[in-house]
A and B are shown apart, each in its own frame.
Chain A
Amino acid sequence: MSLKIKHLLGLQDVSKNDIQLILDTATTFREVLERPIKKVPTLKGTTVVNLFYENSTRTRISFELAEKRLSADTLNFSTSTSSAKKGETFKDTVRNIEAMKIDMIVVRHQSAGVPLYLTRISNASIINAGDGRHEHPTQALLDMYSIREKLGKLNGLKVCIVGDIAHSRVALSNIFGLKTMGAELSLCAPPTMIPKNIEQFGVKIYHDINKAVRENDVLNVLRIQLERDAGTTIPSIREYHNYFGITTDVIEKNNKDIIILHPGPINRGVELSSEVADGPYQIILDQVTNGVAIRMAVLYLLGTKNS
């Protein structure tokens, strides 16, 4: 079995078979992570560059660990300034890196479209680790993996994404991926956090968190950007927490079977109360562990396909 895709740019055009294969492969690697020696020689001799144009500690270390567990050679290129500001063009930067004979690029960038652009200027296999507010496919894959691990299936489940959908790269990937796998998707947020015409992607929209909790099996709760959102897209963090925050009270009065996911980092007391963040309904740390397995699966499947 091998993937149809050569790059993982997003989940919009990834088939059910490919997603299934990634999730199943991740199960194998998940077992590897429980062994005393957590390393396999699968990508020995393969060079992976982590090209991070935006601060992202957890996604970067998750990829880096996945690469090391697969015995790949890894190289980190991190910068928070755009190449334009540095004087070197993005294209030149990429060409320089590629001249060092690398096989795969894991890229995170503020601008949507950069992973696709990379496929045009590089021969490496490209993995999108988040582009602008577009997609973050490995996050959605690990979310799907974690849901499946917990509930045994994806088909027919009702999943609601809560929070700032408009500025999120996780939301679109979740919508595309989970719908492909047969789940029903919905969103819950104030209208200022819902992007234009998103209902055309076949999602239901809630503005009432109680109803969202009541009518869904899973909530995927997004981080609220404190510095960006307060006063512009929402009146205040306090008001957001009071009307959209997930508390034990909200869960217990509406749906005690709900499963809570969060891509991290959590703002305690904002989108989740501390009690919920540490409580029995969430699977947040499982997501982190599964993230390594998912990234190993993606790196392995793309890395061996092209060699």
Chain B
Amino acid sequence: MKIVLNKVRIINPDQNLDEQNDILIENGIIRKIGNLNKEDFSNAEVFEFDGKICSPGLFDMHVHLREPGREDTETILTGSNAAAAGGFTGIACMPNTKPAIDSAEVVNFIKSKSENHLVDVFPIGAVSKERKGEHLAPIAELVTAGAVAFSDDGVAVKTASLLRNALEYLKMYNLPLIEHCEDESLAGGAMNEGTVSTMLGLPAIPTIAEDLTVMRDISVAEYVDGKVHIAHISSKNAVQLVREAKAKGLKITAEVTPHHFYLTEEALVSYDSNYKMNPPLRTEEDVKAMIEGLKDGTIDCIASDHAPHSIEEKEAEFIYAPNGILGLETQLGLALSELVHKNHLSLIQLIEKLSVNPRKILNIPIPQIKVGEKANLTIFDPDEIWTVDIKKFKSKTKNSPFDKSLLTGKSVAVINNSKMYYEGDFKKI
């Protein structure tokens, strides 16, 4: 099977590549870039991608697939389909499944379920058994089975002592610990603490809940020379703490979600639980700090924190509704609209944050766009204007606050593992 991607703008920051060219892919392998002749076109399916960007496949390092345990809200298959629709060829999935990803069996289960899919699924192992914060999970066994990082996401690693031991142990594998930074004693609220929470009468989470855990983690990481990745950073002070840690040369990285650079707590005045997430939406000042952090490199990457919940759960009374929203199918559009089209990031920087850096953090090879390599590509149109329609989502659930949002920039196709996703369908190439 032969396909030609005609006149794409190929950008791979990892190869210092930015050129307009044609790509010939045969049986999933890049055979030729440029100078295509008549023979190359014969029997090939040609995609006229004039003006579209072709980057190494995008990667989302923070996704909640609900399998095993809550297959009614998302399965490995539906989550992978949503990833493909959103422009991603690789995702890392968080261990807060039921059972948690705290044994080789669960890693193997996820890997077997994701076999043969276009999207590569990389399991993240739990730091502690059952994510309870008491005993270390079998880290070596999980690494052997294929876990690419460790996290108790949903909560922070419970104690400084467990965190220290996990970081020391992980040094054997040079893998990061991904931390959901939230001090347990200050947790439990339904939104960000401030003027809006006071006005709405909702129990609230102060930014110090995040900042304190970021501080703790940076201190412990410094002490043991460990590697910590701060998940879904959301407070201005936390960004500054990471900036200072990086300046000291510590192995600290960070991600931000689209909702934390796109929305503020003001959205909560509707009491719409699709705006309820943890960390909560913060203030305009925090949003500015996220964008500043993305610009100066303090924040390494963008990740969705894709968190499917059933309609029934999300429609509960506000304080009882679960935290989290879908992210995979809106992430690229939100990032292009808010960051690239508002001139905060260049396309090259955006591709770094959505493709190159997450793989670097997880020690996953970055797809190379060159002859002889496996085609692992995302083709997107940075200028397509479209309206989000949750009814068209591939995800099993519909908990997105972005329904009906007008976005600029959309994935056109993804290619990986000799498969292509284009116009809503998968096909072998």
Contacts and interface: CB of A to CB of B under 8 A. Distances in A.
A118 B139 CA distance: 48
Contact of A132 (B195, B316, B319): B319
Contacts of B202: 112-113, 132-134
Contacts of B320: 82, 84, 111
Given A113-B202, A132-B202, A133-B203, A196 B319 contact: no
A196 B201 contact: no
A117 B202 CA distance: 14
A111 B193 CA distance: 16
A265 interface: no
Given A83-B316, A113-B271, A113-B318, A131 B201 contact: yes
Contact of B271 (A91, A110, A116): A116
Contact of B317 (A114, A133, A134, A169): A114
A220 B203 CA distance: 23
Given A117-B271, A198-B198, A200-B195, A90 B204 contact: no
B312 interface: yes
B198 to A, nearest CB: 4
A111 B319 contact: yes
A101 to B, nearest CB: 23
A112 B319 contact: yes
Contacts of B317: 53, 82-84, 90, 109-111, 113-114, 117
B376 interface: no
B168 interface: no
Contacts of B315: 89-91
B200 interface: yes
Contact of B316 (A12, A89, A198, A200): A89
B192 to A, nearest CB: 10
Contacts of B194: 196-197
Most buried by B among A84, A91, A113: A113
Interface residues of A, number: 29
B197 to A, nearest CB: 7
A133 B204 contact: no
A90 B316 CA distance: 6
A131 B317 CA distance: 11
Which residue, of A109, A132, A172, A198, has the highest number of chain B Cβ atoms within 10 A?
A: A132
Given A83-B316, A84-B316, A84-B320, A113 B200 contact: yes
Interface in A74-91: 82-84, 89-91
Most buried by B among A53, A114, A117: A117
A117 B316 CA distance: 10
A111 B276 CA distance: 13
Given A89-B312, A117-B318, A134 B200 contact: yes
B318 A196 contact: no
Nearest to B196: A197
Nearest to B201: A134
A132 B312 contact: no
Contacts of B198: 172, 195-198, 201
Nearest to B195: A197
A196 to B, nearest CB: 5
Contacts of B203: 132-133
A131 B315 CA distance: 17
B199 to A, nearest CB: 8
Contact of A111 (B197, B199, B312, B318): B318
Contacts of A116: 270-271
Interface string A162-175: 00000001001000
B200 A196 contact: no
Which of B193, B194, B195, B270: most chain A CB closer than 10 A? Answer: B195
Given A90-B317, A111-B320, A112-B319, A169 B204 contact: no
Contacts of A133: 201-203
Interface in A131-164: 131-135
Contact of A110 (B195, B206, B319): B319
A59 B22 CA distance: 73
A172 B201 contact: yes
Interface in B316-372: 316-320
Interface string B292-334: 0000000000000000000010011111100000000000000
B197 A132 contact: no
Contacts of A83: 316-317
Contact of A112 (B193, B201, B270, B312): B201
A196 B204 contact: yes
Nearest to A173: B201
A116 B317 CA distance: 11
Contact of B318 (A114, A195, A201): A114
Nearest to B316: A84
A133 B204 CA distance: 11
A298 to B, nearest CB: 20
Interface in B39-85: none
A197 B193 CA distance: 9
B201 A132 contact: yes
Interface in B169-217: 193-195, 197-204, 206
Nearest to A82: B320
A243 to B, nearest CB: 24
Contacts of B312: 89
B170 to A, nearest CB: 37
A116 to B, nearest CB: 5
A200 B202 CA distance: 17
Contacts of B193: 196
Interface string B215-236: 0000000000000000000000
A169 B318 CA distance: 16
B271 A196 contact: no
Interface of A: 12, 53, 82-84, 89-91, 109-114, 116-117, 131-135, 169, 172, 195-198, 200-201
Interface of B: 193-195, 197-204, 206, 270-271, 312, 315-320
26 contacts: A82-B316, A82-B317, A84-B317, A89-B316, A90-B316, A91-B315, A109-B317, A111-B317, A112-B271, A112-B319, A113-B200, A113-B317, A114-B318, A116-B270, A117-B318, A131-B201, A133-B201, A133-B202, A134-B200, A134-B201, A134-B202, A135-B201, A169-B201, A172-B199, A172-B201, A196-B194
3 shortest A-B CB distances, which residue pairs? A134-B201, A113-B271, A111-B317
